[in-house]
Amino acid sequence: MNSRVRGLNTVGSGSYLADDVHFLLRSVDIEVTDVEEKERLIQTRQKHYSEMISLEQAPSDAHRQLFQRAMTQNGLRMAGDVQALAKALNVACEGEIVLVSFVRAGLPLGVLLRRALQGLGRETHHYGISIIRDRGIDPVALDAIIQAHGAERIVFVDGWTGKGAIAGEVRRSLAGDPRFTTAPRLVVLADPCGQAWLAASTQDWLIPSGILGATVSGLVSRSIWSEPGSLHGCVVYEHLQPYDVTARFIEQIDGLRHELTDVAAAQPWSVTQREQLQAAATQVVAGLAQRFDITNPNRIKPGIAEATRAVMRRVPDHVLVRDLNDSDVQLLLHLTERAGVPVEQVGAALGPYRAATIIRSLGQ
């Protein structure tokens, strides 16, 4: 790790191995806000979501069992997708590769990609930084990385795309920045809305790391906004240590990757593919907005991972699934049953998505 980056006061690597990632986040003390009160403050625009945080609870026994089922069901697929992305980056990138993962969803993929790229003989660095909807990439963290490595070697990493909000935030954050001479490179596992630079597939599928929070992401919270001039912050959830599967998850997926042979490199979308994906995703979101009389698209969370996280962290009103018997939505159904949230099977109305959560309106 470069000395310019090492000199920053950060939370280090959380519960990841020190070589796997370095978080450019500072530890903050912040008062916990009740989920429903947080939602009300967000929707009435009294506070931005990034200025508040709710206490993250330990996953229930049933939740952990469903995570293990997801690993059994889709762990090998994730391992193959990591290798496919690494092979594509190996071809597309010259010199050292600097992976910049967005906390938290990008972290597991970034760690796994770094290991896979090193296995291909590539010098690879990995950082975890904050990106916040409507406020952009943490400029202090990004500047430190650019000073250490240059902008041309950066590849941004996130877990998946939902509506494409984060992909849009990346573009807005870097628009007009002369250090980035080409369009930003955003890599994800699943890209059903066609917004990433590179993805392993267009499919909305149950990514195992997408159904847990801190306990599969180094025990850090989502990022917390800071005043200009300071690194964005996070909370390290020490109370969740007994439930932490971060290291085991990485070793399991990385172990599966080592068993694979003849994995083809991921291929960028063609212009036609991208346009078709974007049009289909836009149509679904517009249809849901019309049906539920929604003017704020942030209340619509399409995709299995986004829908699941919304039930865990927000105040859900409805959950829609393509198929109630779909094995990939069983954790989501378990969470909705616990929370008393109505679920509706809507079939092809979800387009490229297999699930979506509608956030309850609390703004009145």
If asked whether residues 157 and 212 sit together in one domain, one would say yes
DSSP codes, 95-134: S-EEEEEETTTTHHHHHHHHHHHHHTT--EEEEEE-EETT
User: How close are the terminal C-alpha atoms of the chain, in Å?
Assistant: 49
Which of 217, 216, 219, 221 lies closest to 32, judged by CA?
221
Note whether residue 26 is domain-resident.
Answer: yes
Report the relative pairing of strands 97-102 and 154-157 from DSSP bridges.
parallel
CB-CB contact of 277 with 133 (8 Å): no
CB-CB contact of 341 with 319 (8 Å): yes
| The last residue of a domain, from among 230, 258, 286 | 258
| The last residue of a domain, from among 258, 292, 317 | 258
> What 8-state DSSP symbol labels residue 241?
G
Q: Tokens 């971060």 belong to which residue?
A: 246
If asked whether residues 304 and 170 sit together in one domain, one would say no
| The last residue of a domain, from among 227, 258, 289 | 258
| Residue 292: domain span | 271-359
Cα distance between residue 310 and residue 332, in whole Å: 10
**Six-digit token string for 40:** 């009300």
Cα distance between residue 323 and residue 344, in whole Å: 9
If asked whether residues 337 and 193 sit together in one domain, one would say no
pLDDT of residue 331: 87
If asked whether residues 252 and 275 sit together in one domain, one would say no
If asked whether residues 156 and 100 sit together in one domain, one would say yes
Cα distance between residue 43 and residue 317, in whole Å: 14
The tally of domains found in the chain comes to 2
Note whether residue 364 is domain-resident.
Answer: no
If asked whether residues 63 and 182 sit together in one domain, one would say yes
pLDDT of residue 313: 84
* Successive 10-residue mean pLDDT values, the chain, 364 residues: 64 95 95 90 91 92 91 96 98 96 96 98 97 94 96 96 94 94 94 97 95 95 91 95 97 97 94 96 96 93 94 92 95 91 96 96 69
Note whether residue 263 is domain-resident.
Answer: no
The CATH number covering residue 191 comes to: 3.40.50
pTM of the full structure: 0.94
pLDDT of residue 241: 97
If asked whether residues 192 and 221 sit together in one domain, one would say yes
